[in-house]
Amino acid sequence: MLRNPSAKVRRYSAATIAAAFWSSGELWQREANDLARHGAPPTLRKMSEPVRADFVVLEQNGFVLERDSTKKGEGVRAFLFLWIDEDGEPLNIIAWVPMLNRFSTWIGNDPAGEADTSAPTMQEHCDQEEAA
């Protein structure tokens, strides 16, 4: 399971996660072109369609949508992917910031909230897949 071992556990309903994802913006034309040309990292290709985008503030334990942050103007543009379970229920939102080559989760921990500290973080998992 992908997780951030230092994250605080925050529980959100599937409806809350979906609402946050769908309230984010559509891709700008340039972003859509870049994504079509370069693609997303392999791990993210398994995530949701469509891809959304928004400004996010990256923090140690995940990210905050800039519109919900007190740090206005400090956000970076990120592609957003909806992480869903095998039943199609939203578990988390993954932000990918290509210009920083960084991944982050909205909830800040693995969707199940499991405490397996041996599991890789989202960034480590994606780095391992890219190297393979």
pTM for the full predicted model: 0.70
Is pLDDT at 71 greater than 60 in this prediction? Answer: yes
Which tokens is 29 given?
């034309």
Sorting pLDDT into bands at 50, 70 and 90, what band is 99?
Answer: confident
Residues whose CB falls within 8 Å of the CB of residue 112, separated by 6 or more in sequence, listed in order: 1, 91
Contacts of 130 (CB under 8 A, 6+ apart): 41, 42
End-to-end CA distance of the chain: 18
Let me know: does 75 contact 69? Beta carbons within 8 Å.
yes
